[in-house]
Amino acid sequence: MANPPLKGVISYPITPFDTVTGEVDLAALSRLTEDLVAAGSHAVAPLGSTGESAYLREDEWDAVCETTLQTVAKRVPTLVGVSHWSTEGTVRRARVAARNGATAIMVLPQVYWQLTEAELERHYAAVAAATDLPLMLYNNPGTSGVDLRPETVVALARKIPNLTMVKESSGDVARFRAIRELSDGALSVYNGNNPVALEAFRSGAVGWCTASPCLVPRWALELYAAATGGDDERADAILAELLPFLQFIVGYGLPRAIKAGLQIQDREAGYPRTPLLPLPDKETERLQEMLDHLSAHPLVDSTA
């Protein structure tokens, strides 16, 4: 796409839960979303795996969608994850996102039974037809159990006009260039695998979908600025410092790690919803060491 609706650092907020009632804490959600916008995120993407979308009731899902988009108030673009086990549920969520003013929607093939190519096509076509919003196909074989390879992605996009974006989270950097080339540049590609962020930008990704700005926004933004500004030496230096943190939050699960980090920073977020458990004490101590190191490192203040 010549002018993709999203680019840059696309930040994923968590969904905070009240520590007493266990219900969604919409006031905390609004504060945390505001923090992401104020920090300079280029877009905000609620209701992905970081936001524990799979563990929300439908009324909770609707409230999180509405609160997040109202807080952002179109100051930056918004990408709402509308995935559901069923096509009917995904279509319903897509329409809720559209009513609340989302810029675009994202769909992961969230499945129990392995879907055939015909079933995938029908699913994505139905969701795409439900609104006039641009649609991002989300490939994350590690969580969905479905690996949509570049050839499959491009074939789907040729049949579904508003499928214009792909979030590729397999970690296979070669796919960024393959998707662009196979689609003759019609598809914009986004990275969803934190540790390969720099390689992804160098391979043509136009955006980085990441929860890291919840805890270290300036590091994520500086990496993007260096990578897209041609400052390879600076980009390499930033990633060298940031990589252990990125590997940690992915390795221990984004809801667990990000919520533990927010608690370390004295920002109310609650705990993950069961069956997830909070990050163990030993790992929380390691996370605090990493956050302390990044906070003290001069790169953090280099753009001040």
Do the beta carbons of residue 61 and residue 233 sit within 8 Å? Answer: no
CA atoms within 13 A on the CB side of 263: 20
What are the residues whose beta carbons fall under 8 Å from the beta carbon of 127, sequence distance 6 or more?
82, 87, 90, 91, 94, 105, 107, 135
Q: Taking the mean position of all CA atoms in its chain, how far away is CA 142?
A: 15
Does 167 participate in catalysis according to the annotation? Answer: yes
> Residues 12, 124, 167, 271: which is the catalytic one?
167
Do the beta carbons of residue 68 and residue 101 sit within 8 Å? Answer: no
What are the residues whose beta carbons fall under 8 Å from the beta carbon of 259, sequence distance 6 or more?
14, 16, 269, 270, 271, 272, 278, 279
List strand residue ranges (DSSP E) for the chain, in order: 8-11, 43-44, 79-81, 104-107, 135-139, 163-168, 188-191, 207-210
Q: Was 50 annotated as part of a binding site?
A: yes
Indicate the DSSP class of residue 17.
B
Q: 116: which 2 tokens?
A: 């055939």
Does 112 participate in catalysis according to the annotation? Answer: no
> Residues 12, 124, 138, 252: which is the catalytic one?
138
Whether the bond into 161 is cis, omega within 30 of 0:
no
Residue ranges at the known binding site for pyruvate? 50
Active-site residue numbers?
Answer: 138, 167
Residue ranges at the known binding site? 50
